[in-house]
Chain A
Amino acid sequence: MSRINRSVVAALCVAAGAALAQQPSSTVQEIEKYRAALGDGNPAELWEARGEAIWKEKRGPKGASLERCDLGMGPGVVKGAYTVLPKYFKDSDKVEDLESRLVTCMVTLQGFTPEQAKKDPFGGPGKKVAMDALVAYITAESRGMKMNVAASHPKEIEAYELGRKMFFFRGGPHDFACATCHGSDNLRIRLQDLPNLTKQEDARKAYTSWPAYRVSQGEVRSFQWRLYDCFRQQRFPELEFVSPASIALTMFLAKNSNGGTFNAPSIKR
Chain B
Amino acid sequence: MKNTKIIVLTAAVAVAAGCASMTQRDDAALNAKALELMKASFREQGIAKLDRLVQDDVQRLCSEYSDGKALPKDVAERIEKAEQASIKYPADGKYLGDWKNGERIAQTGVGMQFSDTAGAAAGGNCYACHELTKQELAFGTIGPSLYNFGKIRGYTPDMQKYAFGKVYNSEAYSACSNMPRFGHNKILTEQQIKDVVALLMDPGSPVNK
Q: Tell me the A residues contacting B by CB distance below 8 Å.
A: 24, 27, 94-95, 114, 154-155, 157-159, 161-162, 164-177, 179-181, 183-184, 186-192, 194, 198, 231-233, 235-240, 243-246, 248
B180 beta carbon closer than 8 Å to chain A: yes
Q: How far is the CA of A188 from the CA of B36 in the complex (A)?
A: 32
Residue of A nearest to B128 (CB): A189
Residue of B34, B62, B114 with most partner-chain A CB within 10 A: B34
A residues in contact with B114, CB < 8 Å? 232, 236-238
B residues in contact with A164, CB < 8 Å? 67
Could you tell me if B67 and A154 are in contact, using CB atoms closer than 8 angstroms? no
Given contacts A236-B48, A237-B53, contact A190 B9 (CB under 8 A): no
18 new A-B contacts at CB < 8 Å, known A173-B112, A190-B139, A238-B44? A114-B2, A155-B17, A165-B31, A166-B37, A168-B66, A180-B142, A188-B140, A190-B128, A190-B140, A236-B42, A236-B114, A237-B48, A239-B41, A240-B43, A244-B8, A244-B9, A244-B12, A245-B42
Could you tell me if A173 and B186 are in contact, using CB atoms closer than 8 angstroms? yes
One of A167, A171, A231 near B55 (C-beta < 8 A): A171
A residues in contact with B48, CB < 8 Å? 172, 235-238
B residues in contact with A236, CB < 8 Å? 42, 48, 52-53, 114
Q: Using C-beta atoms within 8 Å of the partner chain, give the interface range for chain B.
A: 35 or more
CB distance from B65 to the nearest CB of A (A): 10
Q: How far is the CA of A164 from the CA of B86 in the complex (A)?
A: 31
Q: How far is the CA of A196 from the CA of B67 in the complex (A)?
A: 12
Given contacts A239-B41, A245-B37, contact A187 B140 (CB under 8 A): yes
User: Does more than half of chain A's interface fall in helix, strand or loop, or is it mixed?
Assistant: mixed
Q: How far is the CA of A159 from the CA of B33 in the complex (A)?
A: 11
One of A94, A170, A237 near B50 (C-beta < 8 A): A237
Given contacts A174-B187, A237-B49, A244-B12, contact A157 B17 (CB under 8 A): yes
Could you tell me if B34 and A189 are in contact, using CB atoms closer than 8 angstroms? no
Residue of B nearest to A167 (CB): B67
Q: How far is the CA of A24 from the CA of B141 in the complex (A)?
A: 13
Could you tell me if B113 and A189 are in contact, using CB atoms closer than 8 angstroms? no
Could you tell me if B62 and A155 are in contact, using CB atoms closer than 8 angstroms? no
Q: How far is the CA of A248 from the CA of B181 in the complex (A)?
A: 29
B residues in contact with A166, CB < 8 Å? 34, 37-38
A residues in contact with B45, CB < 8 Å? 237-238
Q: How far is the CA of A187 from the CA of B113 in the complex (A)?
A: 23
